Structure 1
Amino acid sequence: MQNPVIAIPAASSEDALAHFSKAFEFETDCWDTHEGLKISPEQFVLLDVRSKALYDQGHVPGAVSLPHGKIVESKLSQWPQDILFVTYCAGPHCNGAARGAVRLAKLGRKVKLMAGGITGWLDEGFELAKTE
């Protein structure tokens, strides 16, 4: 029986470097987002792209609720055109953050995805805020 880990050869070191380095242009993680919110939260907009009901039950402190299906230009007009948006959803099992990122990119906005979403945030030991 062939080992499934090595069944497909690994990329060259050069290709791996290019691939993994490029990923940082598209994603950030929960720890870096947490630090960014402490250091200079005005430099990006953190969007919770889940439903408003899920946002109200628990969200990353400082996040704005904007479900991915409602991301349209008129909802973004309050922010400068060059501001970075960071999207998140429930976690790695959810593609809402990617859906939100696609919508933002189609509107010409800079965007990254927060890998891990709510699941990753909680795994890091960070607290959620709730809407009263």
Structure 2
Amino acid sequence: MTQQLTTPQPTATPAEAAAYFAAGLAFHTDVSDVAAALASGDDPGFTVIDSRSTQSWDQGHIPGALHLPTSQIPHRAAELLDPARPLVVHCWGPGCNGAIRAAYALASLGYQVKEMLGGMEYWIREGLPYATADGAGRRPADPLTAPVAAETCGC
């Protein structure tokens, strides 16, 4: 017997839920998956785009990312990006929709793009390396956002 969840709104059918979550995976990735792909030593098959301001970039950025502020996308994307290579875009964090604006601008120009959920905030909070003008940095993983005794969360 299948039990229906008791919520104010009806629960989606399994087929509707599967379609929704499959679509979500087509549009989003997370910092752990991006970090693992970048750390593999192989070409990850995508380019990381940091859509933040120059001041934010200088404060810290993902090593190997390309800095392309959202306002510059219409003018510089064609000179900087390979239209055949997928892009992973990020901004500051989950409280900012800058990555969505950048992803929209890039998709509107014909690029394949995903948003990196969590942005730079969660990259740093998960203890991943970042670069600044003064050199490399890395903070301990925040136990509220990442496992401290394991390499991955196992999800």
TM-score normalized by structure 2?
Answer: 0.76
| Structure 1 unaligned regions, length at least 5 | none
C-alpha RMSD of matched pairs (Å): 1.6
Structure exhibiting the larger radius of gyration computed from Cα positions: 2
Answer yes or no: is 1:66 the counterpart of 2:68: yes
Q: How does 1:1-132 map to 2 (within 5 A)?
A: 6-39=7-40, 40-41=42-43, 43-72=45-74, 74-132=76-134
Contact 2:37 2:44 in 1 (8 A): no
1:73 positional shift: 5.3
1:15 positional shift: 0.7
Contact 2:28 2:114 in 1 (8 A): yes
Bigger RCO of structures 1 and 2 (CA < 8 A, at least 6 apart): 1
Aligned length: 128
Taking a change above 3 Å as real, the CA distance of residues 78 and 48 of structure 1, as seen in their structure-2 partners, is: closer
Task: Give the distance between the partners of 1:73 and 1:80, measured in 2 at CA.
Answer: 15
Task: Give the distance between the partners of 1:91 and 1:122, measured in 2 at CA.
Answer: 10
Determine the structure 1 residue equivalent to 2:142: none
| Structure 2 unaligned regions, length at least 5 | 1-5, 135-155
TM-score normalized by structure 1?
Answer: 0.88
- Of stretches 78-87 and 25-34 in structure 1, the one that deviates more from structure 2 is 78-87
1:127 positional shift: 2.3
Identical aligned residues as a percent? 37
